[in-house]
Amino acid sequence: MRHIFLLLLLFTISICWGQTLTVDYKFDLADDKDKYGFSSFGIIRLITDGSNSISYVKVTDTIVSFKNIGETIQKASEFDFSNPAEYKDFVSNEYYSKTIFPKYLLKDNTYMTAWTITGNYKEILGYKCQQAVGNYRGRDYTLYFTTAIPIQNGPKKFDGLPGLILEVISNDGAIHYKAIKIQNSNEVIENPFDKLNLSYINWDQFINAYKDYFKRITNYVPDEDTAIFIPKRGIEVYINDNNE
């Protein structure tokens, strides 16, 4: 009953919050555990209210040399507001995004995580933020959220706490999102992916398709002096170390 009450409380708080905000998060993603890692650096812009949200991404000019994944060259881009990265519907607890498969979109309604709230605090952008910890699909995370902004949202798939998440840190140091600017918005938020006339797949279907794709890519023999890399992990672990 306690868990049901908490979910109802979070839902009520979010729906009653009528303000729309734009939140910019600086992100640094650098997983160099093995040759199946990844890297990306930039800004994610989250536009959110109490019932749904949409986000856009821009990357920064970056050249980084890693031990396992080699040199990463990333050319800067600006926000493309005609090409959103993600959409979340808090009424149905569904997350939408494009996938690496051109014919399929992701509709994920199993991403919610049971975070454990601790007694630790820190200040971010002038807001008192409380710490929460937990494991999300194979990675351990530490989050900081503020109840001063009662929107149960955050960057990517990080939400479900009684306040806006302003910082996300993976405990292995590979993933870091931190809010750098918050401002009011007049944006009207709606699901952009329903207009694309593509098929939706759920999380389990995506993972099964990704494992098949990973196997094909890693078994492919490229031309001489050509290397092909594909990650096993993002913010979630797609494939464990046994390739299962």
Q: Could you write out the three-class secondary structure of 99-117?
A: CCCCCEEEEECCCCCCCEE
What distance in Å separates the CA atoms of residue 21 and residue 61, rounded to the nearest whole number?
A: 27
Q: Do the domain assignments include residue 227?
A: no
Question: Region 50-68: what's the mean pLDDT?
Answer: 87
Q: What is the dihedral of CA 47, 162, 5, 87, to 10 degrees?
A: 20
pLDDT for residue 5 is more than 60: no
Domain extent for 146: 2-219
With bands split at pLDDT 50, 70 and 90, how would you rate the model's confidence at 1?
very low
Q: Do the domain assignments include residue 228?
A: no
- 67 or 134: whose pLDDT is higher? 134
Question: Region 57-82: what's the mean pLDDT?
Answer: 84
Q: Residue 75 has what pLDDT?
A: 87
**Number of domains comprising the chain:** 1
Q: Residue 66 has what pLDDT?
A: 76
CATH number at residue 142: 2.50.20
Q: In what order do the strands lie in the sheet with 21-31?
A: 116-124, 127-136, 139-146, 164-170, 175-184, 21-31, 38-48, 52-59, 86-89, 94-98, 104-108, 199-201
Annotate the chain with DSSP letters as a single string. -HHHHHHHHHHHHHHH----EEEEEEEEEEE-SSTT-EEEEEEEEEEE-SSEEEEEEEE--EEEEETTTEEEEE------TTS-SEEEETTTTEEEEE-SSTTEEEEES------EEEEEEEEETTEEEEEEEEEETTEEEEEEEETTS-----STT---SSSEEEEEEETTSSEEEEEEEEEE--PPP--SGGGG--EEE-HHHHHHHHHHHHHHHHH--PPTT------SBSSSBSS-TT--
Q: Do the domain assignments include residue 242?
A: no
Two structure tokens written together for 229? 């890399």
Burial class (CB in 10 A: 0-12, 13-18, 19+), 101: middle
CA–centroid distance for 78 within its chain: 19
pLDDT for residue 11 is more than 50: no
Q: Do the domain assignments include residue 114?
A: yes
- 10 or 225: whose pLDDT is higher? 225
With bands split at pLDDT 50, 70 and 90, how would you rate the model's confidence at 167?
very high
Q: Do the domain assignments include residue 13?
A: yes
Question: Region 87-111: what's the mean pLDDT?
Answer: 96
What distance in Å separates the CA atoms of residue 162 and residue 170, rounded to the nearest whole number?
A: 20
Q: Do the domain assignments include residue 206?
A: yes
Residues 46 and 23 sit within 8 Å (Cβ to Cβ):
yes
Q: What residues contact residue 207 under an 8 Å CB cut-off, 6+ apart?
A: 238
